[in-house]
Structure 1
Amino acid sequence: MSHAMAASAAPRDGLSHVTGPTEPPLKNATIPQLLREAVASHGDSEALVFRESGDRLSYRDFARQVDRCAAGFLALGIGKGDRVGVWSPNRLEWVITQFATARIGAILVNINPAYRLSELDYALNKVGCRALVTAQAFKTSDYVGMINELAPELAGSGDGPLSSARLPDLRHVVVMGAKAGPGMIPFEGLLAMATPALIEDLDRIDATLTPRDPINIQFTSGTTGMPKGATLSHFNIVNNARFVTDRINLTAGDRLVIPVPLYHCFGMVMGVLGAVSKGAKMIFPGEAFTPVQTLDAIAAERATVCYGVPTMFVAMLQELDRQHRDLSSLRTGIMAGALCPIEVMKRVNRDMHMHEVTICYGMTETSPVSFQSFTDDPTEKRCETVGRIHPHLEVKVVDADGNIVPVGGKGELCTRGYSVMAGYWGDKAATAAAVTDGWMHTGDLGVLDAEGFCSIVGRVKDMIIRGGENIYPREIEEFLIRHPDVSDVQVFGIPDKTFGEQVCAWIVARPGSSIAPEALRDYCKGQIAHFKVPHHVRIVTDLPMTATGKPQKFVMRDRMVEMLRAEAAQNP
């Protein structure tokens, strides 16, 4: 996209309302079509490198594995519209499953690898997953053990479809690696189910798919309760992947390092689909981010592009200070998930040779990116703003009454265009509350300047961003309130030098009960993801409220910051 196009996206009439360019045109294609085009143009080029497992596949070999997996799903009776969950860190099987489900029109359901029992139970049942593809374990999570704990009858089910009272829709569990529990299928066993006849069926099924079909469900949540399943189509994510990688001038000659998680749009859309749209090579340093693995991968593979959230880049810079690597091959990348401090940006430009790194902003419900900087925007603009609007999108900044505010005014960002989700799975009320006349209400407070650069200045909702993870207080509150000794709870974020924000909980104990902060944290472990477990816990007698009885989180936040500051001064 040229800067002339960017200039055309500036606000007009002094109002905070911008429209993206109409070039390049939208692509009316499915995910299988995107992969076919990559194979046709770049079939012998390396597509995937998983350094931890040693897997390296060309685009042609990758497509063959995808077809075997898709045919395996057909053998299990999985078809168009069925939901298939994937619960795993970054592994080759994840990416194969991503494209195999799309090949047959099944809907991929991304399950956060940090999820624990209650979250897994909720996710599988909310969207009615018919099959689950899972890793055996990751870090402290025993995935197979948790599945058996949720549905112990699975272990004795023998061959054939599973049957579980607690997970009534689930029929098949596919386990990555050689070992699978009783009643479960090894991933290699799934591939072995592919017959020539089933593989032949794939092209016939492919002809029935349309770009507007739902193809992916990603869990997100707001202040109103449990996670909601944002439902995205081929059209949504294929086009967003293209435009994101257009902004960094990605080509088939690029080698992209992806340390960000696949379960998130950053990994699977901006990373995988973006690379496939250009025929670029994807390099996965490990199952999860570590600065050592990521830097080693960049150096060994002569990577040209690297993705990450600011905390990842900070960790990589610290590791570089300890041990030098030759990163001179790097050119560009994407930093997203939180604002980037200017000193970090300058060091990434200088010490990592990423002079063309860009910043992105978006949300899962918009596939995800709406704003992105250009590779040659000034450093200040790439730190203080999230860039300018993407093609084929429209954004306005509105006040509490829905009126568009003047340029420079603060208000809620609303996005309209091809990227807006189909809706929240099985939740018409939540969809209607979030999307009005095609406008997605982001819940983020933004400011547009006269050139169309957008700054994110706060959140209408009280979302916490900890190290790039979006955390929704209401979800944690609803879990903590179940504790028998908890009478009331409020969760909010407080500033943190390492993660940007940390989760803090203020707890009111039930009359006659007492609870220790450590006991409350122990209650969370194994039940909710580690990054949602409150880092700070205060037991209080009451909570600051408005006259109408609404909790004043900003008062709690300010008091907590003061308390921590005073404690730090007493214990230097």
Structure 2
Amino acid sequence: MSVSFDTRVSERGLFDALIDARSTYGAKKPILEDQERNPLSYTDLIRAAFALGRKIAGMTSPGERVGIMLPASSGAVVTFFALHAFGRIPTMMNFTAGIRNIKAACELAGVKRVLTSHRFIEQGKLHDIIDALEPITTITYLEDVRQTIGLADKVFAAAAGSFPRRFRAPTKPSDPGVILFTSGSFGAPRGVVLSQANLIANVEQIAAHIPLDPSWVMFNPLPTFHCFGLTGGVLLPLLKGMKAFEYPSPLHVKQIPPLIKDTGAAILFATDTFLNQYARNSEPDELSGLKFIVCGAEKVREETHNLIRDRFGDVPVLEGYGATEASPVIAVNKPTDNRRGTVGGLLPGVETRLEPVEGIPGGKLYVRGPNIMSGYLNADGVMEEPPGGWHDTGDVVEISHDGWIKILGRVKRFAKIGGEMVSLTAAEDIAIAVWPESRHAVIAIPDPKKGERLVLVTDRRGAETGPLLAHAKTIGAPELAVAKKVIKVTEIPVLGTGKTDYVAIMRMVEAEGGRAS
């Protein structure tokens, strides 16, 4: 099924889209701010991008893939557009991915230079990453670059700020807009090339799906190396006239709620894990001013929905669904039509098809549209395009007659037990229903008799299988969907994006399997 969408909105480059937004919403409109509380207008942002970009251009080549390793901040946004102003390709480095994955990302993308900051490396204690990257890349610190910006650079930036189309490097909408790396929830990350048209299209699709007010402030604590944080937390507000407030870490659960109130934020981007923690550490008036909250990257628990409702009143939590390969948003609920248990309605312009998966209801979801990636990076330097423009999400879903999606699980997240296909997501849901205030993850391990068996990893201290079996019986779930083995841990590991880290959990099960209850 598909919904009509005007693809002409993406027939321009990203820097031109920023220039157009300045014309639409006003050159002096404050549009970007971070914890330093020094707001930038459209013109400030464009001038800063030209000043910094001119210096970076002197160290790099046109079309070069340049690494950005920075937290969500005004500096990260300026650096992103600085590269675009001079025809370089931002390559966003996930500094939480571990040294092996970060080095692999640089080698895969051919990154010869990584832009970062002394302050960030010091505060994040990331010196080991720098030590690992220095043999294969040049590390450039933005504080050092800014010290070299002189009068001539400022005069250039002022002129370029007044006539940006004359000074910016010409690019095509089909040119790369960013290189990102998938989360690695289930294995090694992959390099994803999103075109400038992909990113702009996704912004326009979101804005066509949910009405947005340019007077709103969008609070983004999610990292810009994650597509949700980049498109939703940076490009969407900047191109649609809303002020973007960038915060460097979603982990600061005590500092974020009062700042949401202080900034007058209307929209918060988060994941279920982080939102639940913000709600528990927030005063009643600190989140109640939000128009709505958008959650992605992981399932929103009923307990989180109820917690927000009970503490902060009518603040809808809109669960959405996406993939890095889709720039990233594929579907999202609406403030006026918020259906719990779904990930929302398909964005306009997204085509879908379902392929049957033996033994599993619904079907595996394939998507196609103007927001679907140019392709994956291959080690040989050749880009692997999605066949026929279709991206295989790997998710098993049901789609309602009006385009609302319910996720049943990932194809990889099903186990075959005694010849029956069992959803690991459904097994997690049983644990969530029994112990809603705890975190749970279910994986499958080989079993010599039944093929596979389920293991529940949980931070619930008194967890045991009895209550799980009892709940499964009351809801009519098969006994096969209940984990018979429980491993208790102090904390469920998550990735920097907030997603459950199933690779780490599998290692925990392998290491602690003998101590399970």
Q: State the distance in 2 between where 1:141 and 1:283 align.
A: 20
2:172 paired residue number: 210
Q: Do the aligned partners of 1:331 and 1:353 also contact (CA within 8 Å) in 2?
A: no
- Report the alpha carbon displacement of residue 305 of structure 1 after superposing the two structures with TM: 1.0
Match for residue 322 of structure 2 among 332, 342, 362 = 362
The question of whether the paired residues in 2 share the 8 Å contact of 1:134 and 1:143 is answered with: no
Q: Could you give the per-residue CA deviations for residues 198-224 of structure 1, whole angstroms, max 9, x where no partner exists?
A: 875974563621111012111127799
For the residue of structure 1 that corresponds to 2:85, the secondary structure is: helix
Structure 1: gaps of 5 or more residues: 1-17, 152-165, 178-185, 474-489, 499-528, 541-558, 567-572
The Cα RMSD (Å) is 3.8
Decide whether aligned partners of structure 1 residues 84 and 94 sit closer, same or farther in structure 2, where only a CA change above 3 A counts.
Answer: same
- Given the alignment, which residue of 284, 295, 298 partners 1:338? 298
1:47-446 matched pairs, under 5 angstroms: 47-51=31-35, 53-76=36-59, 78-136=60-118, 137-138=120-121, 141-151=124-134, 166-167=135-136, 170=137, 172-177=138-143, 186-189=144-147, 191-192=149-150, 194=153, 196=155, 203-204=165-166, 206=168, 208-220=170-182, 226-320=188-282, 323-353=283-313, 355-378=315-338, 381=339, 383-400=340-357, 409-426=361-378, 435-446=386-397
The answer as to whether partners of 1:242 and 1:277 remain within 8 angstroms in 2 is no
Offset at residue 21 of structure 1 (A): 2.9
Asked if the contact 2:55/2:145 (under 8 Å) is kept, the reply is no
- Distance between the aligned counterparts of 1:317 and 1:83, measured in 2? 39
Residue 19 (1) aligns with residue 2 (2): yes
Q: What amino acid is aligned across from residue 194 of structure 1 in structure 2?
A: D
Equivalent position SS for 1:120: helix
* Cα distance in 1 for residues equivalent to 2:62 and 2:382: 25
Residue in structure 1 matched with residue 446 of structure 2 by the alignment: none
Q: Secondary structure at the match of 2:298?
A: coil
Q: Is the 8 A contact 1:310 1:335 kept in 2?
A: yes
Contact 1:285 1:297 in 2 (8 A): no
Question: Do the aligned partners of residues 287 and 326 (structure 1) sit closer, same or farther apart at CA in structure 2, a change above 3 Å counting?
Answer: closer
Q: Distance in 2 between matches of 1:431 and 1:386?
A: 30
Matches within 5 A, 1:543-562: none
**Pairs aligned (count):** 442
Could you tell me which amino acid in structure 1 is paired with residue 356 of structure 2?
D
Give structure 2 stretches of 5+ with no counterpart.
Answer: 415-423, 429-440, 444-451, 461-498
Counterpart AA for 1:370: I
Amino acid of the residue matched to residue 311 of structure 1? T
Q: Could you say what secondary structure the match of 2:402 adopts? A: coil
Q: Provide the C-alpha distance between the structure 1 equivalents of 2:321 and 2:290, rounded to a whole number of angstroms.
A: 22
Verify the 8 A CA contact 1:114 1:141 in the aligned structure 2: no
How far has the Cα of 1:396 moved from its partner? 1.1
Q: Deviations over 1:163-195 (max 9, x none)?
A: xxx41xx3x422144xxxxxxxx2413645836
Are 2:402 and 1:451 aligned? yes
Measure how far apart 1:103 and its partner are: 1.6
User: 2: CA distance between counterparts of 1:448 and 1:374?
Assistant: 16
Aligned-residue sequence identity (percent) comes to 22
Q: Structure 1 residues 101 and 226 mapped into 2: Cα distance closer, same or farther (>3 Å)?
A: same
Q: Do 2:213 and 2:242's aligned partners in 1 also have CA atoms closer than 8 Å? A: yes
* Distance (Å, rounded) in 2 between the aligned partners of 1:330 and 1:27: 30
Whole-Å separation in 1 of the counterparts to 2:298 and 2:308: 15
C-alpha distance in structure 1 between counterparts of 2:376 and 2:286, whole Å: 45
Partner residue in 2 for 1:546: none
The residue number in structure 2 matching 1:521 is none
3-state SS of paired residue (2:39) = strand
Residue 399 of structure 1 aligns to a residue in which SS? strand
Q: 1:119 to 1:249 in 2, by over 3 A?
A: same
1:283-319 CA distance string (max 9 Å, x none): 1244443222221111111211111011111111211
Report the CA distance shift for 1:241/1:427 in structure 2 as closer, same or farther (over 3 A). Answer: farther
Is the 1:416–1:439 contact (alpha carbons within 8 Å) kept by the matching residues of 2? yes
Please say if residues 233 and 246 of structure 2, whose CA atoms lie closer than 8 Å, have aligned partners that are also in contact: no
For residues 439-460 of structure 1, give each alpha carbon's deviation from its aligned partner in whole angstroms, at most 9, with x where no partner exists. 1111111111233211111111
Distance 1:422 1:57 in 2: 32
* TM-score of the superposed pair, with normalisation by structure 2: 0.75
Taking structure 1 as reference, are residues 315 and 435 closer, same or farther at Cα in structure 2, changes over 3 Å only? Answer: same
For 1:113 and 1:530, how far apart are their aligned partners in 2?
A: 17
Task: Give distance in 1, aligned partners of 2:342 and 2:382.
Answer: 30
d(CA) in 1 for partners of 2:179, 2:455: 27
* Alignment match, 1:4: none
Matched residue SS, 1:292 = coil
User: 1:31-70, CA deviations, whole angstroms, 9 ceiling, x for partnerless residues?
Assistant: 111211222223222112212x333222221221111111
**Secondary structure of 2:255 counterpart:** helix
Contact 1:283 1:297 in 2 (8 A): no
Aligned partner of residue 153 in structure 2, secondary structure: coil
CA apart distance, 1:92: 2.2
